Amino acid sequence: LAKQAEQAFTDAVEQELFEAARVQFMGARSGQMKTLQKLMGGLSKEDRPAGGKKLNEVKNRIQAAMESASQRLDVAGTGGSKSGPMIDATLPGERRHLGRVHPITQTIEHLKDIMGRLGFEVVEGPEVEDTWHNFVALNIPEDHPARDPLDNFYLSVAGQTSVDANAHAARLLRSQTSTVQIRVMENRQPPIRIISLGRVYRPDEADATHFPMFHQMEGLWIDTHVTMAQLKSVLRMFATSYLGADVTIRFRPSFFPFTEPSVEADFLWNGNWIEFGGAGMVDPNVLKSVGYDPEQVSGFAFGLGVERLCMRRHHVEDIRDLYRNDLRFLHQF
């Protein structure tokens, strides 16, 4: 019997055969060992000790064969038998790495939300622009230093080695979102109350507060009686909504070709004034360039640096951290 059992367990190359052999030889109710055990009752008193010893020997051999077959099947099982890999439910689970929305994208959504509550509609404009929308319509004439190829990313034309920045067909990566003001005014009549958020590009050297690609939020409000006082209220309300009621902001007189008068807006951060945007009353020349009558309508515009707002709110001291793609940094948002 022991030999038969040993053979059966050696032949058990898969779980079902092993199970059949186990039931046949060691089954608790009608296994062959059980039958053998029952036969012991029929032995005479003198034969019983020797019979018992023999029975134990057989039982041990069958158990040993069964155990080694069981181990062999377990090991093979982890390699992917029909019943699948062995799972150790006591091992700690694997953490899945979930992606996060980039802090600047989160900021853009937040800014849209605040400005939406102030009644501003979101519009979009292209990143590759022509000189009309980026300069001319914004009252930036041909000889203006802002058009210098060294201060802009002009796109080269196939077959030409140098860029003619004044050519009518010249194209560039927009250097400001003010281009969208023109696109909206060209296609709509007042009243207009819009914002536009997106990337802008300048060959600025990267430092703690500058990056060659950054985002701006442009705002434009045109109606019959829009005033500078409304501009300052909107920027103040926006700044306290996004940065908190305790933020200190100031307006400085400034100059932009497309607004008159113009201001720059700063917030106080760790004892320093940081500029977060430019703004002003839309220049009558700009209103004329899109076919509006400056006697009938007026308006204000602003352009804010999205990265600097995000940095102030989340205490990011270096703009470059936003674009290093270091997951340890990004996972904090």
27 versus 294: smaller Cβ distance to ligand FA5: 294
Our CB check for ligand FA5 shows the closer of 170 and 282 to be: 282
Q: Output 120 or 302, the one with its CB closest to ligand FA5.
A: 302
Edge-to-edge strands of the sheet including 298-305? Answer: 121-122, 192-201, 213-223, 298-305, 272-282, 259-269, 249-256
Please, which residues bridge with residue 219 across strands?
A: 195, 302
CA atoms 145, 147, 152, 154: torsion sign: negative
For residue 205, the minimal CB distance to ligand FA5 (Å) is: 9
* Sign of CA pseudo-dihedral 109, 303, 148, 212: negative
**Minimum CB separation from ligand FA5 for residue 101, in Å?**
20
Amino acid of residue 191: P
- SS (HEC) of 159-203: CCCCCCCCCCCCEEECCCCHHHHHHHHHHCCCCEEEEEEEEEECC
Q: Is the separation of the CB atoms in 194 and 184 below 8 Å? A: yes
Of the pair 197, 279, the CB lying nearest ligand FA5 is at: 279
Q: How far apart are CB 161 and ligand FA5 at their closest, in Å?
A: 27
**CB nearer ligand FA5, residue 178 or residue 298:** 178
- The nearest distance, CB 168 to ligand FA5, in angstroms, is 22
Residue closest to ligand FA5 when measured from CB atoms: 305
Residues lying near ligand FA5 in the complex (CB under 6 A): 176, 178, 202, 204, 210-211, 214, 216, 256, 259, 262, 275-280, 301-303, 305, 307-308, 319
Of 54 and 232, which CB lies nearer to ligand FA5 in the complex structure?
Answer: 232
* Shortest reach from residue 117's CB to ligand FA5, in Å: 21
Q: Which residues are CB-contacts of 261 (< 8 A; sequence separation ≥ 6)?
A: 228, 253, 280, 281
- State the minimum distance, in angstroms, from the CB of residue 276 to ligand FA5: 5
According to DSSP, residue 253 is labeled E
Cα–Cα distances (Å) from 208 to 204, 239, 311, 319, 327, in that order, read 12, 21, 10, 5, 19
Q: How far is CA 120 from CA 193, 239, 304, in A?
A: 5, 15, 15
* Nearer of residues 154 and 300 to ligand FA5, judged by Cβ: 300
**Smallest gap from residue 89 Cβ to ligand FA5 (A):** 52
**Rounded CA Rg of the chain:** 40
User: Considering the complex, what minimum distance in angstroms separates the CB of residue 211 from ligand FA5?
Assistant: 5
With respect to ligand FA5, which residue has the nearer C-beta, 6 or 266?
266
